[in-house]
Structure 1
Amino acid sequence: MTTVLDPIRHRTILDDIDHICQTAGISQHFLTHSMMDVCGPDEVDWVRNFPMYRQKLAGLVLTNGANVSNRLMYMAGALIRNFTDARVYPINTVLRLAKAGELPTPTVLMIPNLYVKAGGATKGLAHWDVQAIYDVLLERQAAGKPTVLFIQDMDSASQAYGDVFRDFLENNYKIVG
């Protein structure tokens, strides 16, 4: 198997790879392969300069939906190889765990579907779900733990989540297409 993991430098990761991948919400492929051929330059830059971005921003918002869940998983794999606790959780998992008071606090939380436009008529999110998501993002910002989000359309997300939510993202996150 070709891998970007170094048998000496990444020994602790290799010794517990199954558990690490399960905890991170990614398959081993994303941990053992480079993100370079799949992720865009802004995503690579964010991972490469993670310590700097972590000091300045609450996270990263991706708006390009092409292969987004895989891109986030490759990013998580790259962060883990650099010994950063990164996890990929769908929004419903985040909401369920947050409401139960059981949401882990990894260094980087990645939500590949914070806002995906629904086809046809939709009632949107319940206001308590919007508040729960906003609480998670505010708590993570206060703790210096970045969050990476996928939002398919900022205008539609603003209608679903509210203008205050959008303002928070635009003023505290790097937003890339």
Structure 2
Amino acid sequence: MSILTFGINVTLDGCIDHTQGIADDELHDYWTRVMEQSGAMLFGRTTYELMEGFWPAVARDEKAPRAMRDWAQKLDAKAKYVVSSTRSDFPWQNTVKVEGDLREAISALKAKTAQGVLVGAPKLAAALEEWGLIDEYRIVLHPIISGHGPTLFQGLPTPRQLELLSTQRFKSGVQALHFRRKAG
């Protein structure tokens, strides 16, 4: 079975508000490389709609910054799966609604996607984490204290032990951390 990786940008205080952070070329290039290593993207409806409302236009905008456009074009072409109980129409190309029992559907998606699946939806990731379905974590830590907003894994009933696989420091001071779930 392939791996499910949760990837997210967070501030030093754990805020996951998408408006907080340093969105420069180096960050976009990093996420493009991470996405390229995965066979599919997985989103909850809210995150999907944020992406759908912005990135397809950037993919077609010849004046968009190179790193943003590269990310957008590769995201546009990538297989995208969406978990939603309120929406069934997903016109963005290569988008499929996840159907049936969520735990079984995500396990099946992992099994059929040899390159692995990258999930970028915090609420969805919290549910997947409770079931032990997340194998790796790509947490990009921004040197910002937000002081507000939702944080990662609020309400998780038990702690998780992770193994640090690698770190990468960007010129902006952003740190990319790559973790794997510890065995046991």
Give the TM interval when normalised to the shorter protein.
Answer: 0.3 to 0.5
TM-score (norm 1): 0.35
Q: Which has the higher strand share?
A: 2
Choose between structure 1 and 2: higher helix proportion: 1
